[in-house]
Structure 1
């Protein structure tokens, strides 16, 4: 039954004094929340930060640098993985890479006790830009079914196709070590370490094709999820995560960029106008997802600083997360801190004593391992936490100096309650948290005109969901 709670302004200020220092404690979650959060590489922790638990720490330690290197070198050894290259040569081309990835994923699934299934998700792409003739495009998709809320899905991907300088060159060497064997290596290592575990929600590990030709594999996968009505609550793509070295030789080995869009790609003009009217451009589901990643992965346990970039993607380019954004799913892109364009999409050659081409020698496998840990921290926490609260609204039918928030109760059996968060409109991160109990309605004695509010769910283990940003309702 919905409860109508209220907090006076004095109570709000008292909550501010405690939660700004230590974070709120939800009912039944005191033990899990007692440990102080670790310092981020950036030295600043949001009020919503979640310290890594014992299970997550154990998972992060199992991520194996040598296996990641083996994956990158093996994928590069197929010569080219161009989408238009051979599909039936056992040693060279995209077909050989497809079969190798599929076989490895099936090996990982064997440790899952039947919880992980692996499929070749294929379709024939008819002639289109960069596809001159009908071409079979195949994604390798490993699905680890959730044990508590299997209908809730989280997706992580990398693209296994590659390209040379000429995007239509299907025969020349295109090892694609950084772009994007590095991303596929992250996905495959996550599949390996999670296969023997029991996440509460479903996690999908995907190696997709057709990215360089136009995001074809990812668009097919996202379209299938949407047609089936799948509740994809988050999607990450790892694309170009192989090296922290920029084209000028400078290095930033402890930073990964996370690109997250503002006004959602899928919103209608009317919906976007409502969002803009309340200043919600920085509070899309994808931006909340990015904040969540910082909450759980920007810390000493991963050894990384997550630099959130408030853009859908880099200029002139786009990754597979865009296919999910187009379908209305929250999605974001991981990529290295500064790209070295001398090695991306360059033909393999030696010129003036300098080697060119996207080769494994230019990858930093320790760096890729840390990126994998960032992904693991985000995915595992998402899969163990309750789902993002649905139907969050702020009531605007009366002119008052307080704020009444309403949301729908989640169905998770271990749901403990909810927390209300807020920040000044000029702040990028949530700065305050209060626990409001197991309710679907709460009033805060602060003006909705002056600050941004959000709601997140908490389970009995102390795992918090991403924040839901309430849009106005009358």
Structure 2
């Protein structure tokens, strides 16, 4: 089903996670010894349920597609794989929503977990599922895209699995975008559609390349530092601080703070939404290569990224 709001044709620009607009900096966040609030208690329970084996299963299933290039006929079956896994986790509301741009079309996958309160911001937990080779227009070459970005999708699906039986006051959407590698086409379409009939501000947590740790084993928490709507910076940085604290409380990951850039949170930021991301940082030699395979990932690291994401959602869903 196509979006009701048409997506204007955009120039073909290729996001590149290797070149942030400003460097990430190390932050010293200490583990809290006492965490007795309901959100903290929920977060502590959720992180115990994360399975590295479940994450590996999703990465291997998505990487088994010869390619997930947006222009490939395999993009549809890849979307259906995600639908199937979300349905198996117990979600009845999973849909494929189509978009069109420049003579091309594909689907985003949207899974909605209704919240118990209608007056809290919707949380969007998202990642892109398309992949590519160095030649962004080559839709036939082998492109397993294990780290970029089956890793992010796996974390989203694992978070959905863990959260399935949990009552949250905020509605949470788990969204997998196509068209990211062509210039954020899928996320631009979805952000426009969400805001076409209202002005609600969403909380957007994006995961793009979270399966291969850098040499120092850190995670980069990405926050909004200016961009199209400076007025949402403070809320983004506050939510980023929640994620940084979650890393200290529930993992041993060192935390870097960096900017949001070149991924699917950007169209939402332009609509005034509060956006953050998690990212492994620069340095993956397999970026946009056939060698970006499941064997190159660290599934304990990916599990930790999933844990800090779950903890952040728990806090945001109960306290915002």
Paired with 2:226 and 2:31, the residues of 1 have a C-alpha distance of: 25
Correspondence for 1:336: 280
Correspondence for 1:119: 95
Does residue 301 (structure 1) correspond to residue 250 (structure 2)? The answer is yes
Instruction: Choose the corresponding residue for 1:367, options 280, 301, 305.
Output: 301
Equivalent residues in 2 for 1:253-402, closer than 5 Å: 253=217, 255-267=218-230, 284-295=234-245, 297-309=246-258, 311-313=259-261, 318-340=262-284, 342-346=285-289, 348=290, 357-385=291-319, 387=320
Correspondence for 1:236: 205
Tell me the matched-pair count: 291
Equivalent residues in 2 for 1:409-428, closer than 5 Å: none
Preserved contact between residue 127 and residue 156 of structure 2 (Cα < 8 Å): yes
Q: Secondary structure at the match of 1:62?
A: coil
CA-to-aligned-CA distance 1:172-195 (integer Å, 9 cap, x gap): 100000000000000011111111
Does residue 106 (structure 1) correspond to residue 90 (structure 2)? The answer is no
Correspondence for 2:43: 56
Larger helix share, 1 or 2 = 2
Q: Secondary structure at the match of 1:207?
A: strand
Preserved contact between residue 319 and residue 333 of structure 1 (Cα < 8 Å): no
Q: Secondary structure at the match of 1:137?
A: strand
Paired with 2:201 and 2:54, the residues of 1 have a C-alpha distance of: 29
Q: Secondary structure at the match of 2:175?
A: strand
Superposed displacement of residue 232, structure 1: 3.7
Instruction: Choose the corresponding residue for 1:76, options 39, 45, 63.
Output: 63
Task: State the structure with more CA Rg.
Answer: 1
Superposed displacement of residue 306, structure 1: 3.0
Paired with 1:50 and 1:334, the residues of 2 have a C-alpha distance of: 26
Instruction: Choose the corresponding residue for 2:147, options 163, 175, 178.
Output: 178
Paired with 1:158 and 1:98, the residues of 2 have a C-alpha distance of: 12
Correspondence for 1:418: none
Superposed displacement of residue 43, structure 1: 5.2
Larger strand share, 1 or 2 = 1
Q: Secondary structure at the match of 2:267?
A: helix
Paired with 1:319 and 1:43, the residues of 2 have a C-alpha distance of: 26
Q: Secondary structure at the match of 1:299?
A: helix
Identify unmatched segments of 5+ residues in structure 1: 1-40, 87-92, 111-115, 128-133, 246-250, 272-280, 349-356, 388-474
CA-to-aligned-CA distance 1:297-319 (integer Å, 9 cap, x gap): 1323233333221x233xxxx00
Does residue 97 (structure 1) correspond to residue 41 (structure 2)? The answer is no
Paired with 1:261 and 1:378, the residues of 2 have a C-alpha distance of: 16
Paired with 1:312 and 1:64, the residues of 2 have a C-alpha distance of: 28
Instruction: Choose the corresponding residue for 2:30, options 44, 61, 67.
Output: 44
Superposed displacement of residue 291, structure 1: 1.9
Preserved contact between residue 155 and residue 232 of structure 1 (Cα < 8 Å): no
Seen in structure 2, the aligned counterparts of structure 1 residues 216 and 50 have a Cα distance that, compared at 3 Å, is farther
Paired with 1:230 and 1:360, the residues of 2 have a C-alpha distance of: 40
CA-to-aligned-CA distance 1:114-165 (integer Å, 9 cap, x gap): xx6111111222x1xxxxxx22221111111101236520111110000001
Preserved contact between residue 152 and residue 232 of structure 1 (Cα < 8 Å): yes
TM-score by length of 2: 0.85
